[in-house]
Amino acid sequence: MKLANMIGDRFKERPADCIIDSHALMVRGGYIKHVANGIYSQYPILKRITAKIERIIREEMDAVDGQEVLFPVVLPGSLWEESGRFTSVGRELARFSDRNGSSLVLGMTHEEAAVQLVRDYANSYSKYPFMIYQIQTKFRDEARPRAGLIRVREFTMKDAYSFHTSREDLENYYYRVYKAYERIFERAGIPEVAAVQSDSGMMGGSISHEFMLLTPAGEDSIAICRECDYKANMEAAECIVENVNRLAMGELTLVRTPGTKTIDEVGAFLNCPVENTCKAVIYQRNRDDKYVIAFTRGDLDINETKLTNLLKEDIHAAEICEGCGLIAGYTGPYKLEGDYTVIYDRSLKNIDNLVCGANIEGYHYTGFSMSRDIGDVEYADVSKIKDNGICPNCRKPAISISRGIEVGNIFQLGTKYTKAMDMRYLDKDGQLKYPVMGCYGIGVGRLAAAVCEVRHDEYGPIWPKSIAPWQVHLCCIRVDDPGVRTAADALYDKLQEEGLEVIYDDRDVRPGVMFSDADLIGAPVRITVSPKNLARSCVEISSRDKSVNTMADIESAVPAARELLKKCT
Amino acid sequence: MKLANMIGDRFKERPADCIIDSHALMVRGGYIKHVANGIYSQYPILKRITAKIERIIREEMDAVDGQEVLFPVVLPGSLWEESGRFTSVGRELARFSDRNGSSLVLGMTHEEAAVQLVRDYANSYSKYPFMIYQIQTKFRDEARPRAGLIRVREFTMKDAYSFHTSREDLENYYYRVYKAYERIFERAGIPEVAAVQSDSGMMGGSISHEFMLLTPAGEDSIAICRECDYKANMEAAECIVENVNRLAMGELTLVRTPGTKTIDEVGAFLNCPVENTCKAVIYQRNRDDKYVIAFTRGDLDINETKLTNLLKEDIHAAEICEGCGLIAGYTGPYKLEGDYTVIYDRSLKNIDNLVCGANIEGYHYTGFSMSRDIGDVEYADVSKIKDNGICPNCRKPAISISRGIEVGNIFQLGTKYTKAMDMRYLDKDGQLKYPVMGCYGIGVGRLAAAVCEVRHDEYGPIWPKSIAPWQVHLCCIRVDDPGVRTAADALYDKLQEEGLEVIYDDRDVRPGVMFSDADLIGAPVRITVSPKNLARSCVEISSRDKSVNTMADIESAVPAARELLKKCT
């Protein structure tokens, strides 16, 4: 198509409200239009990219025996009541009533709809296993949409649901999809995407993986072992700590520590390493504001997701008011009295001679021992794994914390939904059983943005050829020169005849404008027809990543472009 | 794919709640799953059909220089306030609030989003004309969803929006899309779709057409002239009547007509043709329940859409209560006193010697003359055109009323939205002007259902090959016979290798079950491998429409199938 006709503006200035590069480039390049908070329209250039991504996803889902279906965007609230999620999911689930007062929701994921679709059909073991998927719009009323297409409220998602008669069959199939996901990301131009173990969150189920594209712009933190192949989302990474400064049992002593509100201040005041302190982090349950006190070792931080999963309750940072019984900065496990939920992190197990708050303003204890002074309590893993922490797999202190964008996820759901929604099948043995489910998601727009995030330079995206909006960008410099116009027009026709996807810039604009627009559009190969080169019967052929810039005889421009395209990733 | 693996049940019994055949067949054939009132999931077989329809639509939209974009499903209420439709559209517009209390709506059509997408971009005449389209989910909270996919609340729609600098340019482009629509319906297997003039309704604008598939199952009524090419939706068809029994002026006389509440009863009582009576049809405005009285000739009916458009008010059938001043059954134009909106249909113009209600219980007038007794009033066309009525184009009494399904529509919107939303461009003459718009819709699911409605027999759909879920249906009768199994498996592979889309039924079921399933799936060509025919090295090849049933040597089964496919529509 001709660039002059393409809808969308391109401009040079980085918009002030864009924190990450992919967002800025997608605004600057005329890819997206902001409609409302976390809601965008797609211009033609982005639609071409997402259509290609969708095709790759379809091919790979079909290759693992997926059957494409279509679920509704608008679902009856009653269906979500069947699974229990109508009440358990918070405000990210958009709810409204229709003209008759019936409750409706906007599907943010489609487990309920998937079960409803196949509940009657899959009534015998002989119908299993099978997988259904859709590519459909979803709406999730995120509290904080950000970073362009990375975290939005409305998005196009491929979501797939598999049904099995055994956990083994689910596991086998799960790893087939795992491999299919690796192929999808490789084909989309980001083979470096890594599968990490993840927390299953509100999806239920046990084993799950997130596919992470590592980039500093990512909003997820991932623990990666430098020594083995362990990779996990921070929320799923077990925090293993050794009692580094193993001190002998000491005497429990109340000491005055005025004005030491933070653990670092206490450590400094008492000249004690933070690894030998016990820290209190205080939350409140959303449900009733009851206090939750998590104790961990002074050098560690609490992971709120781990704590939430343990409590099975949503929580928020506590407000500590007068009369609540808690002394901010001086809360400790010893003689802590009141109706609080108390959680002890595993880092405190078998540890003696600690400094901890005394629950008296201005006082701490020294010589505190968990086993002697508190006795037998349960310990849980609620702390964050740290950089250089111990790998839960190989047990070496080789953990690196990286940031990444989650571009896909897969879950072994088990029977959570089939039980809740009473989906059963008659097994070979004549028994009625609940099928086990897996579910598998990829956000299409987020994937496009993620590719842009790791495949760009200061001038624009460098699209992998598999998802580039066009393969070839043809520039005609000095379109007012009849010879140049004729040669460029002929080349445009020829490139198209030979099956190449071409965007043709025949505008009467300066070369600088043409080239910066070409960089923002990001086609892998650019061909430039200009008076100077045409005088030598040549055209300039260059790659978007600027690694190749060469001349070709105009007669061999098409094969030369094709050759360069072959070399592009 | 193998039929045994395909999700979805097929069964024989017509569901009791299905009024039209396409609905019944789509339920019986495992095409759709009811999720909520007017909301369905699509099983894989239907998804294959709609994907093919979408591809045809895309190709034809691209062929008229359309650029595919994607608008959000969820739109900010503020955008609809800009156009005025947030308040003007009724309860079919689903409205809700997000977690921050911001008003959101579900897009039922995307004029506002289209203008918002291009408002900044298209700021100069040089950017025009252009057309953008999307294929996206829409939600419309219909009061009475019915007939399966024909009238639903959630649906996939192709909606397109064109922008122009002149009405002439819009008109030229409008007819390009008109032609593209004809190609789409022809390619989808229903070349008989007819464009009819339509009422623009809530879309605004002037000229518009609906593409109608004529079938008794349709819910729209269309006036078609048997003598010329005039075709119009009833709502848009001008009602022309001649004063058939031209009587001389008579004397206005009050006559007693006890118990004659209907116009037919009055006519019979007074021995007067209904064409010489004046009928009152009484409505109330939705806004304030004020009465609207429409008078028309006794043999005609009021068209509520025409009346609504004239009033620019929504109305409902009146409730006539004591004390409202109106006498049910005896309301007439003469000496009608009270604060009513009174409309006179054109059929009453220049007519004398009528019977009409006297506004007195049990009395009518005879000899009533509009011009003498009422004087100079305005007349409007608010009556329905009748079977054998006068064609507004050729003026012959040759109108037939048919029923049809609206499978597409096109509107010349003019500047309604660009003015309301202040979208302007700088014209060649240096003036800021409002672009003129056209919009163009096709419902994808409804199109599939409409094709099914006119292309089926008692056994199932007869899908046109262009949108059939598969081209060839291969049946293996007696799969337990190793020779048959081997031959059928080999043929399955061969058909696929040669690029044909095959659904393969290798289930161990009776031939009757196989054939009735094949009929419900509706692939144009069926190949049957059976022990009996295989003994003669033959297979049976038949067309879904039952017009062809032949034998072919198994070696030439593929070319024979391809040959038959070629002959299928």
Inter-chain CB proximity B69 and A118 less than 8 Å = no
> How many CB atoms are closer than 10 A to CB A350?
11
Name the minimum distance, in Å, from the CA of B362 to any CA of chain A: 41
Scored b (16 or more CB within 10 A) or e, B143-172 reads: eebebbbbbbbbbbbbbbbbbbbeeebbee
pLDDT of residue A202: 43
pLDDT of residue B202: 43
Q: How confident is the model at residue A203 (pLDDT cuts 50, 70, 90)?
A: very low
Residue B411 touches chain A, beta carbons under 8 Å: no
Closest-CA residue of chain A to B31: A69
Which positions ≥6 away from B85 have C-beta within 8 Å? B93, B112, B202
Contacts of B64 in chain A (CB under 8 A): none
pLDDT of residue A89: 87
Please provide the DSSP assignment of B210-228 as one string.
Answer: EEEEE-TT-SEEEEEESSS
% of chain A at pLDDT higher than 90:
76
In the predicted model, is pLDDT for residue A200 greater than 60?
no
Dihedral of the alpha carbons of B525, B528, B529, B535, in degrees to the nearest 10: -110
Q: How far apart, in whole angstroms, are the C-alpha atoms of residue B385 and residue B381?
A: 10
Q: How far apart, in whole angstroms, are the C-alpha atoms of residue A107 and residue A329?
A: 44
Inter-chain CB proximity B47 and A68 less than 8 Å = yes
- Helix or strand holding residue A532 (H, E): helix A531-534
Closest-CA residue of chain B to A47: B69
Q: How confident is the model at residue A480 (pLDDT cuts 50, 70, 90)?
A: very high
Which positions ≥6 away from A370 have C-beta within 8 Å? A333, A344, A348, A349, A350, A351, A352, A354, A377
Please provide the DSSP assignment of A254-297 as one string.
Answer: EEE-TT--SHHHHHHHHT--GGGBEEEEEEEETTT--EEEEEEE
* Tokens at B89, concatenated: 């559209």
Residue B36 touches chain A, beta carbons under 8 Å: yes
Mean of the pLDDT values across residues B332-339?
88
From the list A69, A113, A153, the residue facing B44 with the nearest CB is: A69
CATH for the A253-380 domain, from 3.90.960.10, 3.40.50.300, 3.40.640.10, 3.40.710.10: 3.90.960.10
pLDDT of residue B244: 66
Looking at every residue in chain B, the average pLDDT score rounds to: 93
- Determine the Cα angle at B414 with ends B413 and B419, to 5°: 110
Helix (H, G, I), strand (E, B) or coil at B111: helix
Please provide the DSSP assignment of A434-493 as one string.
Answer: PPEEEEEEEEHHHHHHHHHHHSEETTEE---TTT-S-SEEEEES-TTSHHHHHHHHHHHH
Best CA proximity match to A76, nearest among A93, A92, A52: A93
> How many CB atoms are closer than 10 A to CB A374?
17
From the list A92, A98, A136, the residue facing B141 with the nearest CB is: A98
pLDDT of residue B203: 46
Contacts of B132 in chain A (CB under 8 A): 7, 44
Architecture (CATH level 2) of domain A470-567: 3-Layer(aba) Sandwich (3.40)
Mutation site for A-interface testing, chosen from B1, B98, B127 by largest number of A Cβ within 10 Å: B98
Mean of the pLDDT values across residues A526-543?
96
In the predicted model, is pLDDT for residue B333 greater than 80?
yes
Closest-CA residue of chain A to B6: A67
Inter-chain CB proximity B70 and A47 less than 8 Å = yes
Contacts of A62 in chain B (CB under 8 A): none
Q: How far apart, in whole angstroms, are the C-alpha atoms of residue B297 and residue B241?
A: 9
Best CA proximity match to A566, nearest among A539, A551, A548, A554: A548
Which positions ≥6 away from A426 have C-beta within 8 Å? A123, A124, A125, A432
- In angstroms, what is the C-alpha Rg of chain B? 29
CB contact at 8 A, A164 and A437: yes
- Helix or strand holding residue A550 (H, E): strand A549-553
Inter-chain CB proximity B136 and A137 less than 8 Å = yes
Q: Report in angstroms the alpha-carbon separations of B97 from A72, A80, A145, B109.
A: 20, 19, 16, 19
Best CA proximity match to B2, nearest among B461, B477, B492, B487: B492
Q: How many CB pairs under 8 A join A and B?
A: 170
Name the minimum distance, in Å, from the CA of A479 to any CA of chain B: 17
Rounded to two decimals, the pTM is: 0.90
Tens of pLDDT, residue by residue over A359-410, are 988 999 999 998 889 888 999 999 999 999 999 889 999 999 999 999 999 9
Class of domain B3-237+401-453: alpha beta
Enumerate the domain spans of chain B. 3-237+401-453, 253-376, 470-567
Q: Report in angstroms the alpha-carbon separations of B235 from A42, B197, B223, B447.
A: 36, 9, 9, 22
Contacts of A122 in chain B (CB under 8 A): 7
Q: What amino acid occupies position A485? A: R
Contacts of A68 in chain B (CB under 8 A): 44, 47-48, 51
* Lowest mean pLDDT, pick from A240-249, B76-85, B329-338: A240-249
Name the minimum distance, in Å, from the CA of B263 to any CA of chain A: 37
Q: What amino acid occupies position B201? A: G
Backbone angles phi and psi of A292, in degrees to 5 = -120, 120
* Tokens at A212, concatenated: 């992470």
- Helix or strand holding residue A85 (H, E): helix A85-88
Q: How far apart, in whole angstroms, are the C-alpha atoms of residue B348 and residue B297?
A: 6
Best CA proximity match to A135, nearest among A448, A409, A443, A449: A443
Q: How far apart, in whole angstroms, are the C-alpha atoms of residue B128 and residue B113?
A: 18
CB contact at 8 A, A134 and A159: yes
In the predicted model, is pLDDT for residue A10 greater than 80?
yes
Tens of pLDDT, residue by residue over B169-214, are 999 999 999 999 999 999 999 999 999 988 655 444 578 999 999 9
pLDDT of residue A78: 96
* CATH code linked to domain A18-237+401-453: 3.30.930.10
Q: How far apart, in whole angstroms, are the C-alpha atoms of residue B455 and residue B449?
A: 10
Looking at every residue in chain A, the average pLDDT score rounds to: 93
ipTM of predicted assembly, 2 dp: 0.90
Mean of the pLDDT values across residues A162-181?
96
Roughly what angle, to the nearest 10 degrees, separates helices B557-567 and B482-497?
60
CATH T-level fold of B253-376: YbaK protein (3.90.960)
Mean of the pLDDT values across residues B512-516?
96
pLDDT of residue B138: 96
CB contact at 8 A, A402 and A394: no
Residue A67 touches chain B, beta carbons under 8 Å: yes
Q: How far apart, in whole angstroms, are the C-alpha atoms of residue A194 and residue A406?
A: 10
E-strand ranges in B140-230 read 154-164, 194-197, 208-214, 220-225
Q: How far apart, in whole angstroms, are the C-alpha atoms of residue A488 and residue A506?
A: 8
From the list B75, B130, B139, the residue facing A7 with the nearest CB is: B130
In the predicted model, is pLDDT for residue B326 greater than 90?
no
CA B48 from chain centre, in angstroms, equals 23
Mean of the pLDDT values across residues A307-319?
88
Q: Report in angstroms the alpha-carbon separations of A106 from A79, A136, A425, B106, B305.
A: 12, 12, 29, 10, 33
Cα end-to-end distance, chain A, whole Å: 23
Residue A39 touches chain B, beta carbons under 8 Å: yes
Mean of the pLDDT values across residues A244-268?
83
From the list B7, B67, B76, the residue facing A7 with the nearest CB is: B67
Contacts of B156 in chain A (CB under 8 A): 70
From the list A37, A51, A130, the residue facing B5 with the nearest CB is: A130
Inter-chain CB proximity B154 and A72 less than 8 Å = yes
* Tokens at A88, concatenated: 């358990």
Mean of the pLDDT values across residues A409-437?
96
